[in-house]
Amino acid sequence: MTADFGSELDGQVAIVTGASSGIGSATAASLASRGASVVLAARRESELEDVAARIEDTDGEALVVPTDVTEDDDIDALVEAALDEYGRIDVLVNNAGLMPLAHIGEADRETLQTTIDVNLRGLITLTHAVVPTMLEQESGHIVNLSSVVGRFLQANSSHYNAAKAGVKMFGDSLRLDVAEEGIHVATIEPGAVDTELLDHIPDDEVRENVKEYVGTMDALAPEDIARTIAFVVTQPERVDINEVLIRPLDQVQP
Ligand SMILES: NC(=O)c1ccc[n+]([C@@H]2O[C@H](COP(=O)([O-])OP(=O)(O)OC[C@H]3O[C@@H](n4cnc5c(N)ncnc54)[C@H](OP(=O)(O)O)[C@@H]3O)[C@@H](O)[C@H]2O)c1
């Protein structure tokens, strides 16, 4: 079977972090269906293998590289594996994330630090590892997953909001440094998307409250964000989509 959407990304190579589930898995499939070779990164290898198998079933090209974005060695190994296999990196989707919401008075220190480490520090470290290749190529797309809560307030979420606001500011500042070199930087700010993200909220009460709130909406599907990311990275070279805030129609706040 040929690519569903033509071949806008033929010959391009995309690294997608957090590709083992949700938005990352849908984005990898979407980019592969447009012709990109996708490098799938996350911690759970068997889930990554399943995603790769689905991509290969539709004649797509995928490489699995088990990666913990909080480990510098894993980040270096991921970039090296992509370059060894394909020789270039055209798209980096910094999507790996977790949202262990908690009141600051109830959260343990490890939860706060992991939130920053995965959502922000890992994203910055991987970007730092990929940018030299893009500078050499004089082209590239860096797509960072922030959130509506990178812009708007949310209770029991000060650490997560801080991480996601940091993602937005990192991307906007990075653009100043790299746009002239042909590198595009976009921040995606989704509202509620139906994924396993909420299942990993450790506090039972907070998790059930958030699930109840999200249950009042017709939440976005991961494919809605994947389609948006594909749109961002398939524009004419002169076009630079800086930021996309995308929510379910019935989510007017946050
Ligand atoms: N769902 C929403 O409503 C929503 C809204 C706004 C923003 N977002 C953002 O969208 C992104 C994707 O989330 P999602 O909704 O698709 O949730 P998800 O299905 O839980 O996906 C999160 C992904 O991140 C990976 N991950 C977590 N820790 C990691 C680590 N240390 N190293 C590497 N990968 C790691 C997970 O894979 P492993 O466990 O296999 O490592 C998983 O593939 C996140 O950045 C999230 O903050 C989501």
Tokens 């994924």 belong to which residue?
195
Cα of 171 to ligand 1 centre, how many Å? 18
Q: What pLDDT, on the 0 to 100 scale, is given for residue 89?
A: 99
C-beta of residue 140 within 8 angstroms of C-beta of residue 91: yes
Is pLDDT at 5 greater than 60 in this prediction?
A: no
Q: Quote the pTM value.
A: 0.98
Q: How far apart are the first and last CA of the chain?
A: 41
Tell me whether residue 4 is in a domain: no
Cα of 169 to ligand 1 centre, how many Å? 20
Nearest ligand 1 atom to alpha carbon 96:
24
Tell me whether residue 1 is in a domain: no
Query: Using CA atoms, how far apart are residues 1 and 58, in angstroms rounded to an integer?
Result: 6
Q: What pLDDT, on the 0 to 100 scale, is given for residue 29?
A: 98
* Tokens matching residue 156: 């029991």
Q: What pLDDT, on the 0 to 100 scale, is given for residue 2?
A: 40
Which of 180, 176, 230 is CA-nearest to residue 16? 230
Give the mean model confidence (pLDDT) for residues 45-68.
Answer: 98
Tell me whether residue 164 is in a domain: yes
Cα of 74 to ligand 1 centre, how many Å? 17
Domain count, the chain: 1
Tell me whether residue 251 is in a domain: no
Nearest ligand 1 atom to alpha carbon 119:
45
Q: What pLDDT, on the 0 to 100 scale, is given for residue 253?
A: 82
Query: Using CA atoms, how far apart are residues 154 and 111, in angstroms rounded to an integer?
Result: 17
Q: What pLDDT, on the 0 to 100 scale, is given for residue 3?
A: 43
Q: Could you report the per-residue pLDDT of 153-211, keeping only the tens digit for each? A: 999 999 999 999 999 999 999 999 999 999 999 999 999 999 999 999 999 999 999 99
SS (H, E, C) 176-200: HHHHHHCEEEEEEEECCECCCHHHH
Tell me whether residue 97 is in a domain: yes
Nearest ligand 1 atom to alpha carbon 193:
3
Calculate the average pLDDT of the chain.
96
86 counts as catalytic: no
Is pLDDT at 4 greater than 80 in this prediction?
A: no
Helices (H) and strands (E) in the chain, counts: 8, 7
The residue range of the domain holding 215 is: 13-244
Tell me whether residue 114 is in a domain: yes
CATH number reported for the structural domain that contains residue 147 in this entry: 3.40.50.720
Tell me whether residue 249 is in a domain: no
* Tokens matching residue 46: 């068997």
Catalytic position from the list 21, 122, 125, 160: 160
C-beta of residue 141 within 8 angstroms of C-beta of residue 171: no
Q: What pLDDT, on the 0 to 100 scale, is given for residue 79?
A: 99
The closest residue, in CA terms, to atom 43 on ligand 1 is 18
Is pLDDT at 64 greater than 60 in this prediction?
A: yes
What are the distances in angstroms from CA 239 to CA 35, 82, 92, 203? 20, 26, 17, 43
Cα of 238 to ligand 1 centre, how many Å? 30
Q: What pLDDT, on the 0 to 100 scale, is given for residue 124?
A: 99
Tell me whether residue 219 is in a domain: yes
In this prediction, residue 1 has a pLDDT band, given cuts at 50, 70 and 90, of very low
More confident residue, 64 or 4: 64
Per cent of the chain over pLDDT 70 is: 98
